[in-house]
Amino acid sequence: MNNNRGLKNIIWVVGAAMIAQTIVATTSAVNDATIPEIDSSMIEREESEIPFSEMIVPETESDYPKPFILTRAYGDSIVLRWATNSYVDWLYLRTKGVTISRLTHTKEGLRMDTIVRCLKPLSYDEFRKVYPDTVDSLAYGAMGVLYGKNNMTEEQTDYEPGTPGSMMDLYEEQKLKLAYGLLFAEWRPDLADAMALRYVDKSVTKGGEYYYTVGPAEIDTTGRFKLTHEVSELVKNEKYKPEEYDLDLKYEITGQGAATFTWKDMKHSSFEIYRRKKGETDWTKCNENPYMPQYQGEMDNQIINYSDKAETIGEYEYSIAAHDAFGDLTEKCKPVKVVYPDVMPPVGPDITRIMIDRPGENDYDSIFARIYFRKDTMEADFVRYVPMYYNERDSLKEWRLLTNKYIAPTDTMVRVDVTNLSTGMVTIAAVDTANNMGYAFPRLLRIQDMRPPKRPKNIRAVPDLDGTIFIHWEQEDSIDVRQYQVFFANSLANHSFMIVNRGELRDTYYIDTVSTNANERYIYYCVRPIDFEGNQGPMSDTIRVLRPNPEPPTIAHLDSAWVDSEGIHSRWYGGADAMIRDYVVYHKLENQRDWDTLAIYNGDDVKANGYLIPVDHKPEINRLYRHQYAIETVSFWNISSGLSLTYSDWFVGDTYLKIPIKLYGRFDEKTGETRLAWEAKDIPQGDYRFCVFQKTKYDKTFQYLIDEPINASAHTNRLLPPGETAEYYVMIYYTDGRESFPSNVVTITAPEKKPDEKK
C-alpha cells in the first residue's frame, strides 16, 4: 500500500507558525493508519540484527514517541521518509543514527532484515564537499540547521537564565530549527538524504509487499529518551501513478491582463502554476521555481494566493500541480478559464475653453454651456467623449453625466443644458470599446443661479409638553437651498408672522421653544427657502400647532342645585382656559367606590354657553344612600384638573305607585280556612313584598296581618272564628320605601257551627 501523505501537519505542530512570515509549511498529513500487530515468534532474526523485541514498542509503552514514517513504491524501488515532532528526538536520531529494517512475509513466517544499521546525516565537511556552491541557499540552510554555530544559549534570551521564560525561548528556537529541517527535506530529496531523513530501498522485488521499521540505532538506557521504533503501513512495490489533484481554483481580475488566484491546500507546500491561451495545447509554466506561499495563523484556515500577469488580454486557461512529500508532482488540477478584459483607458482630452449662453427671455429660463476640447492621442479603440459634472449639491458628491448625447471622436466642442445646475467642476471622459474612461483635467464651470427654489411641502410639527415644538418639512430641490427661514404667529386674525430661527438654518427641520403658560390654544408656522444666490422661494403652507401647556386646567365649581320628582338638577361653571377640551361629569352612590361617567361636555360648547354646565339626572330611587356628583376638566394635552368638590343629595321619587291589584276571597267550610288570592299588573322593578291587611269587629282600622314574597299570589289562614266577619285588602311595599295603593276590599264571613258539631 503506497503512502502518499506528507509531513505538512507534523511540521505545523512543531513550529511552522513561528516561520510563517519567511517560509512555507510542508505538505501532506501524517500517516495515522493503524499499525498491524506482529508476532515476534514469526520473525527470522539475523544474528547481527537488533532483537525485534527492542524495536517494537511493547503494549504498555504504546504512548512512547516514535518517528512518523511515509513510504512510496515505484516498482524498482521503495522510498522511505520519516520525521519526529520533537527537536530532542530528532537530535537523538542524528546523534545515535537511524536503523531501518524491512519485514517480508515468507513461507516460514515474517522475516525481518536490517537494511540500514546506523544512518546519520552528512558531516559538516561532507556537506561542504557535496554542496560547494554558496548560491544553493537551501543546502546551506540545511547545513546551518545541523551545524550552525549561532544557536541560542541560555544567556542570550531576554529572560534570566533558568527561568521559565528563558526555557521557553530555547524551546521555541528548537521548534523553529526542526521545522526548517523538515521543510528543507521536503523540498529537496537530496537534502533529505543528506540529513538522514530519507532512504531509497532498491533491493526489493516488483510486486513485493513489505513493512518497514524506523527507529534509533541505539536504545537509550538512561530513561531520558523513550524514542522507539515505528512500523510502517504495508507497501506493495508497484509503479507509482501521480495522484489526481482536486482543487477549487478561484480568481479575481486585478488589472490589465493580471489576476490573483486563490485556493486552499492543507496537504502540499509547493506548487507549479501553468497557463495557456485559448486554442493552444501546450502549457506554459508561470513560475520559474516551485511556488511556496507564505502562511499566517492557523493552517486549517489558510488561503493560498498567486498573482499572474499575461502578456496580452484575451481568454486563457490556468491549472496547478503540487509537489508532494517525496518530490513528485501531482496531476494538474481541472483548468479554470480566465478572460482578461481590456481595462486600459484611453488618454483623456484637454479642455481649452468654457462659455455660458442664456438665450431665454428670463435669465433663469434656460442656460447652456459650450465646452471646447482637444485630444492629441487617438487610440484604435477610442469611440466617443462623455462630458461629466461634479458639485457637492447638484451631483450629490458624485460625478454624473452632463448629457446622454453621443459625442464623436472627431468633435471638439459640446453644448450642454445646465439650466438646473450651479457652479461646479466639469471634465470630459474619453471612452473606448470596453467602456474604459480616461479623463480630462477638471475645469471650473461658473453658472450664476437666478432661479428661486421651490416651495417647501408637507410641513408638519410635533409639540412636546416641555415647551419644544419639532417642525419638519420636505424640499424637492434641497440641493440648491442654502438656508430656510421659519416664521411663527400666535394668531391668524390679528398677529403678523415673524422669523423665529436665528442664523442660517440648513436642515429641513427646526426645534422651537415656546412659553408654556400662555392662554392660547394654537401657534402657527410656515417656512421659506433661500438658495445659494440669495433667491427667495415661496412660503410653505401654514400649519396650526397645539401649544404645549403642562398646567392642569381650571376646576369647575357648583353654582346651584335642586331636587324634584323628575330628578336631581345642578348647574356648574367651567373655566376660561383656552386649553380646555372636555368636562366629564361623574356620578355614584355614596356607598360606591368607583365613579361612573354620566356625561361629557365639549369645552368650546360650554364656552359658547357662557361657561355654564347644566347637569340634569334622574337616577334610580334609593332611600338608603345619597347620590353624588363631581366634574373633571380635561385639557387638549389630556391633563386633568382633578375632581371638583362633590355635590350629593337624596332622590326618593314618587312614594305611592299606581299599581292595579285585584283581590279575591272566600271561606272554605271544609277546611275552616279563609282563602285570599290576588292579581297585580305592571309592577315596577325593585325589591318588594305583598302585605295583607285585616279588619275585624274588634278593630277600628285595618291592621297588618302578614306579608308574602314576590312570587306569591295567595294567602290562607284559620284566624276567623265561626259566625264572625272580617275585611281584607293587599298592598305592595318596596324596601326603598315606595308602596302601592291598596287593592279592593274583600269581606269574608265564617258560618255558624251546626248543633251536632258542638262537640
All three cell numbers of 235: 507497501
Is there a common fold for 250-340 and 656-756? yes
The confidence score (pLDDT) of residue 52 equals: 37
Pairwise CA distance, residues 361 & 366, whole Å: 9
Please report the pLDDT score of residue 516 as a whole number. Answer: 93
Q: What angle do CA 8, 9, 15 make, to 5 degrees?
A: 95
CB-hemisphere CA count at 13 Å for 432?
A: 18
Residue 58 confidence (pLDDT) above 70: no
What is the rounded end-to-end Cα distance, in angstroms, of the chain?
A: 139
Q: Is the pLDDT of residue 310 over 60?
A: yes
Query: What are the residues facing 734 on neighbouring strands?
Result: 688
Burial (Cβ within 10 Å: 0-12, 13-18, ≥19) of residue 52: buried
Q: What is the mean pLDDT of residues 351-367?
A: 84
> What's the confidence (pLDDT) of residue 242?
87
Confidence (pLDDT) at 629 = 97
- Give ∠ CA 84-88-89 in degrees, rounded to 5: 40
Q: Which cell goes with 237?
A: 512495490
Q: What are phi and psi of 522, to 5 degrees?
A: -130, 160
pLDDT at 754: 67
Predicted TM-score of the model (pTM): 0.47
State the pLDDT at residue 17: 33
Least Cα distance to 139 among 181, 79, 95, 176 occurs for 181
Answer CATH for 350-445 from 2.60.40.10, 3.30.70.1280, 3.40.50.720, 3.40.630.30: 2.60.40.10
CATH classification (class only), 557-651: mainly beta
Report pLDDT for 16. Answer: 34
Pick from 286-290, 321-325, 364-368: least confident: 364-368
The answer to whether residues 575 and 611 touch, using CB atoms and an 8 Å cutoff, is: yes
Residue 10 has pLDDT above 90, yes or no: no
* 683, amino acid identity: I
Q: How far out from the chain centre does Cα 205 lie?
A: 66
Of the listed ranges 59-63, 107-111, 186-190, the one predicted with least confidence: 59-63
pLDDT the model gives residue 266 = 84
Whole-number pLDDT of residue 156: 59
Distance, in Å, from the CA atom of 597 to the CA atom of 620, rounded to the nearest integer, reads: 16
Angle at 27 (CA atoms; ends 78, 17), nearest 5 degrees: 140
Q: Give φ, ψ of 143 to 5 degrees.
A: -65, -35
With a pLDDT cut of 70, the percent of the chain lying above it is 88
333, 321 in Cβ contact below 8 A? yes
pLDDT at 450 over 90: no
pLDDT at 488: 96
Which pLDDT belongs to residue 363?
Answer: 67
Model confidence at 154: pLDDT above 80: no
For the residues of 250-300, what is the DSSP string, one character each?
EEEEEETTEEEEEE--SS-SEEEEEEEETT--S-EES-SS-B-----S-GG
Task: Sketch the domain layout of the chain as residue ranges.
Answer: 8-236, 250-340, 350-445, 457-546, 557-651, 656-756
pLDDT value, residue 459: 97
| Residue 550 per-residue DSSP state | -
| Higher per-residue confidence, 219 vs 467 | 467
Euclidean distance between CA atoms 690 and 677, whole angstroms? 11
Q: Which fold has domain 250-340?
A: Immunoglobulin-like (2.60.40)
Least confident of 32-46, 518-532, 597-611: 32-46
- Is residue 51 over pLDDT 50? no
Ramachandran angles phi, psi of 161, nearest 5°: -55, 135
What region does 162 belong to: left with phi over 0, alpha with psi -120 to 50, or beta? left
CA distance 377 to 398: 27
Give the per-residue pLDDT at 9: 46
Residue 759: predicted pLDDT: 44
pLDDT of residue 597: 97
Strand-strand pairing, 656-657 and 739-740: parallel
Q: Is residue 272 within 8 Å of 329, Cβ to Cβ?
A: yes
Query: Mean per-residue pLDDT for 235-255?
Result: 91
- Residues 141, 195: Cα–Cα separation, whole Å: 11
Of 138, 114, 257, give the one whose Cα is nearest residue 189: 138
**Contact yes or no for 230/3 (Cβ under 8 A):** no
Tell me: pLDDT of 66 over 90: no
* pLDDT band with cut points at 50, 70 and 90 for residue 436: very high
pLDDT at 357 over 70: yes
Other C-beta atoms closer than 10 Å to the C-beta of 88 total 15
Residues 6+ apart with CB under 8 A from 380: none
Burial (CB < 10 A; 0-12, 13-18, 19+), residue 696, is middle
Answer whether residue 174 shows pLDDT above 90: no
Mean pLDDT of all residues in 342-367: 87
What local confidence, expressed as pLDDT, does residue 495 receive?
Answer: 85
Secondary structure of 447-509 in the HEC alphabet? CCCCCCCCCCEEEEEEECCCCEEEEEEECCCHHHEEEEEEEEECCCCCCCCEECCCCCECCCE
The grid coordinates listed for 609 are 354657553
656-756 CATH fold: Immunoglobulin-like (2.60.40)
How buried is residue 221: exposed, middle or buried, by Cβ count under 10 Å (0-12/13-18/19+)? exposed
Q: At what angle do helices 164-187 and 137-147 cross, to 10 degrees?
A: 140
What is the distance between the alpha carbons of residues 57 and 213, in angstroms, rounded to a whole number? 11
| pLDDT at res. 34 | 29
Rg, C-alpha atoms of the chain: 57
Query: What does the pLDDT read at residue 50?
Result: 38
Q: Specify whether the CB–CB gap between 457 and 473 falls below 8 A.
A: yes
Q: What pLDDT band is residue 59 in, cutting at 50, 70 and 90?
A: very low
Q: What pLDDT does residue 298 have?
A: 56
Q: Which of 104-118, 282-296, 403-417, 514-528 has the lowest mean pLDDT?
A: 282-296
Q: pLDDT tens-digit profile of 689-702? A: 999 999 998 899 99
Sequence-ordered list of residues with C-beta below 8 angstroms from that of 609, at least 6 positions apart, any chain = none
The CA distance from 99 to 193, in Å, is 14
Q: Lowest-confidence range among 6-15, 104-113, 372-381?
A: 6-15
> For residue 641, what pLDDT is reported?
96
The domain defined by 457-546 folds into Immunoglobulin-like (2.60.40)
Residue 14 is inside which H or E element, if any? Answer: helix 8-14
CB atoms within 10 A of CB 81: 26
Q: Which helix (H) or strand (E) holds 512?
A: strand 509-513
Phi-psi region at 72: left, alpha or beta (left = phi > 0; alpha = psi -120 to 50): beta
Q: Is the pLDDT of residue 19 over 80?
A: no
Q: Specify the higher pLDDT residue, 623 or 522.
A: 522
CB atoms within 10 A of CB 648: 15
Whole-number Å distance between alpha carbons of 362 and 365: 5
Cell of 663: 283581590
Percent of the chain residues topping a pLDDT of 90: 56
CA distance 511 to 656: 69
Note the pLDDT tens digit of each residue in 464-507: 999 999 999 999 878 778 899 999 999 998 889 999 998 899 99
At residue 296, the pLDDT reads 55
User: Rounded to whole angstroms, how far apart are CA atoms 2 and 33?
Assistant: 12
Q: If residue 657 lies in a helix (H) or strand (E), which one and from where to where?
A: strand 656-657
